[in-house]
Amino acid sequence: MPFRFTELELPGVRLIEPRVASDARGFFMETYKQGDYAAAGLAAPFVQENHSRSVRGTLRGMHFQRPPRAQAKLVRCIAGEIFDVAVDIHPSSPTFGRWVGLTLSAENCRMLFIPSWCAHGFCVLSPCADVVYKTTAEYASELEGGIAWADPDVAIDWPVAEPILSDRDRQWPRLTALASAESVQV
């Protein structure tokens, strides 16, 4: 199999390591193969692909999209290096509010599968980073949501103290506010 799938601390969040064939010319790898992903329990019908470029210290997140168009994501960094994070935002989950994070880079070729019941975000560790991710639902602005990147109840150990944030990402509420309003239904 050209992929190694590793279940992380949050159920459904998977580290995916593709087999990379390298030689003097460069390298080749498969990044997605429906049959192999389905055999690993990741039968995700991807319908949209996004590409972002960000400078060192940029933090994008923590984002999610509500049903009926909740998005699972397959994330990879194709240039540079990022610290990628998933947070369980499903209120009835035993891991609600817990997070996992790992480094994705062009060099390590690792990918992260993030289920639709997770918020997602990343920060850039290199001078610049290009991130490409597939989603299982098309973007719907009316269904987008987020949680505060520095929510003390979630306590993500970000490797950047003063990130560069968008105005939108500065405004997201804490996870407890969302859960108490019952607005997180994934």
Residues annotated as catalytic are: 63, 133
Residue 123, H or E segment:
strand 118-124
- Residue recorded with tokens 């290199």: 126
Could you give phi then psi for residue 175, rounded to 5 degrees?
-60, -40
Alpha-helical segments (H) within the chain = 34-39, 167-171, 175-180
Give the pair of three-digit tokens for residue 181. Answer: 């309003």
Determine contact, residues 175/147, Cβ cutoff 8 Å.
Answer: yes
* Beta strand segments in 24-98, E: 26-29, 48-55, 59-65, 73-79, 81-88
Determine contact, residues 60/169, Cβ cutoff 8 Å.
Answer: yes
CA distances from 17 to 58, 59, 60, 78, 126 (A): 25, 24, 23, 14, 21
